[in-house]
Amino acid sequence: MFHRYCLLVGFLISTSLSAQLPAPSAKTFPVPATKVEVLATGKGFVRLQFRANLGILGDETTDRTGEFTQPVVTLARQWMHTSLVGLPRGAQPRLHVLEAKVATDWQVEFDSSHQVEEPGEGPARLGQPVTLRDQYAVPVTFMPQRDAHGQLNVYERVVIDVVFDDPGATMGWPAKDDRFEPVYRSLLINERQARAWRTRHTRPVRKTAQTGISPTDGMIRVTVRSEGMYRVTADDLVEAGADLAGVDPNHIRVLYGGGSSLGLASRASNGVLLREQAAVISGGDDGSFNGEDAVIFHGVGTERWDFDRNQRVHFWRRNVYTHDNAYWIDLHATNEATRPTPRDGSIAQTPSAVVDSYRHRLHEEDERTILRQLFGMNSGYDWYWEPFSGNARNYPIAMSQVVPNEPVLIRAGFWGWTNATHIFEVMWNESSLGIRSFSGSNYAQISASAYEGPIEGLNQFGLIHRTTNLTRLDWFQIQYQRYLDGSEGVLAFDWPIATDGGAFIDTTVGAVIQYELRGFAPDEGTPRIFIVSAGLQEVVDFEYDDTTGDLRFQDWFSGKGRPPRYVAVQTPFLRRPSAVTVDTQRPLRESAAGADDIIVTHSDFSEAAQRLADWRAQDRRFGDPMTTMVVDVQDIYDEFSGGLVDPMAIRAFVNHTFDNWSPRPTYITLMGDGTYDYKNNSGTSHTNWIPPYQD
């Protein structure tokens, strides 16, 4: 399956080969022939005429002379007709109805599957302005109108003026855009008048300024799914296909694109570029990089706990498109790579507080069932865990190294779904925490506190729905105090707030916390402690007892910005990435050489896409052949979304080519099927070769 698009900016007209028309009604209705034409144009106006050809049907509705013997019944939507009017950029058009003749011999049956505007909106209205490549335009829709008595009137003739401020011809260099001229002529009803208002380029196309790093051919893409300190050995890189000959360990660097989706903005994002982050090189003292020599860096998943600097709270960051985060290893940095800065952790000051525990945060979510459907299509954004309609449910939670008698904080998110009051009794370890409620069908949250705290081992969070109005659980979060215990070989924790045993901070002097960790296995080596919240720093000169596995260190925080986050890890417990891939990158940002037709496809279809491109490059049926180009969608992800699967990256790429390439593309072909089940939550979806963008 492939989709071909005429390239518009902010407006796409699809000629999808897989498009499906609505199923025809069981009842057959005669269809009037509608037409819109230009009656006149002038400075600041265009006059349009809508006509419906009533004709002679030749059946029992007419007599021998062709006169109607009974009213003809039609569907309201068959009397709707939309045309696109070209305008000066930024114009605020106004519509004046000059004439509206009702078709009295025709009756209309309302089709509930198609909306007809309320009284006062017909017989014509203006839509939202769009940009058709270099042409600003507004859709004008002629339609039936309900009168004050609820009668639906249709029109056999309507004459209107679309009035606007006319600044005259747009100044600048005329853009030669022969490929798109047929599109303008076919879509704009006043194409000849509108030519003068098309956007002109005031200077030749040039590359936009950018800061950051684009991936290049031969870089290594490293895929991770959860937080930890990751270790990639030279042997891992060789196995992936990397050539380590002549690699200087001092010039090996790690790059990162931020690990977040590009968002759902109405205007295409410019995408993201990679930034260097500090990394450790283990080994390589002999000037070469081989064997068990390794790159060690901090990585996180695409869905994770993050910190809001404005609200100064932790929150769960979602990613609706992928579980896989991407980091990059560049083996040939021009300059020496960034390494972690040391940070003194010695026990040398009187601490503001001594802590041996931290707040542990759990986010539990099962994207089990799709929430919304539209015209039979599932939304890929909103999933829910399970429905509640007068039932109860317990959720077991295994907890270890808990601090007893410290409150457990509970939050749960719901899709209200039904416009009613939803009442829940919240339970913790079979004890009631009280009644919580919310109203309406929108998204809502409830919270509760279990002051008796957690127990070591298995705990239970329970919800009892005290009404029968349908609502749907989305997720729940549990926060509790946990000892700073390293028995698992790795421990990640945040600077404690005052209510968790930390210190109140005077931001003029800051505060010192002394951390006391326990439980590291003495035979697994001395732990390393990294501060991962601001670049990468390594805590040095801490105290470690290699007979008991106890560790102490101090750290200072100003109270401004993000509080420090730490990862303590023993070498055997460094994580291994999910995948290591040598990238074959086509430079997309650096190049300015474009094509008339760009085929975006997945590597699974690269050969078929190239055959299509070669054929189009020789096709002379419609004039001179087009210039064509095949682009791997992974290259687009790598350059515009940091290597993450993201439909917005495709939009960012198209936007970039339109603004910076020569020739600018006229057509974009998306070759490969897609699904709104982006992360295959259902477990039954096929490969998402070209993920669709959901508006």
Q: What would the pLDDT profile of 375-384 be if each residue is shown by its tens digit?
A: 555 667 788 8
The share of the chain scoring above pLDDT 90, in percent, equals 68
Q: Inform me whether the pLDDT recorded for 120 exceeds 90.
A: no
Rg (CA), the chain: 32
Question: Each residue of 213-223: pLDDT tens digit?
Answer: 999 989 999 99
Question: Each residue of 124-139: pLDDT tens digit?
Answer: 999 999 988 889 999 9
Q: Inform me whether the pLDDT recorded for 149 exceeds 60.
A: yes
3-state secondary structure 564-612: CEEEEECHHHCECCCEEEECCCCCCCCCCECCCEEEEECHHHHHHHHHH
Question: Each residue of 623-674: pLDDT tens digit?
Answer: 788 999 999 999 999 999 999 999 999 999 999 998 889 888 989 999 999 8
Domain layout of the chain by residue ranges:
1-29+587-695, 31-197, 360-483
Give the chain's mean pLDDT: 87
- pLDDT band per the 50, 70, 90 thresholds, residue 454: very high
The values of phi and psi at residue 122, to 5°, are: -95, 180
Name the fold adopted by 31-197: Immunoglobulin-like (2.60.40)
Question: Each residue of 338-360: pLDDT tens digit?
Answer: 999 999 999 999 999 999 999 99
Give Cα 219 distance to the centre of its chain.
Answer: 25
Give mean pLDDT, residues 165-188: 73
Please check whether residue 495 is in contact with residue 527, taking contact to mean a CB–CB distance below 8 angstroms: no
Q: 556 in helix, strand or coil?
A: strand
Give Cα 285 distance to the centre of its chain.
Answer: 43
Question: Do the domains 360-483 and 31-197 match in fold?
Answer: no
Give mean pLDDT, residues 117-128: 73
Q: Inform me whether the pLDDT recorded for 577 exceeds 50.
A: yes
How far is residue 50's CA from residue 35's CA, in Å, rounded to a whole number?
6
The CATH number given to 360-483 is 2.60.120.260
- pLDDT band per the 50, 70, 90 thresholds, residue 695: low
Please check whether residue 663 is in contact with residue 597, taking contact to mean a CB–CB distance below 8 angstroms: no
How far is residue 6's CA from residue 401's CA, in Å, rounded to a whole number?
60
pTM greater than the 0.75 cutoff = yes
How far is residue 249's CA from residue 290's CA, in Å, rounded to a whole number?
10
Which residue spans within 420-563 are E strands per DSSP?
421-428, 431-439, 443-450, 457-465, 471-483, 490-494, 511-517, 528-531, 537-540, 543-545, 550-557
Q: Inform me whether the pLDDT recorded for 24 exceeds 60.
A: no
Q: Inform me whether the pLDDT recorded for 268 exceeds 80.
A: no
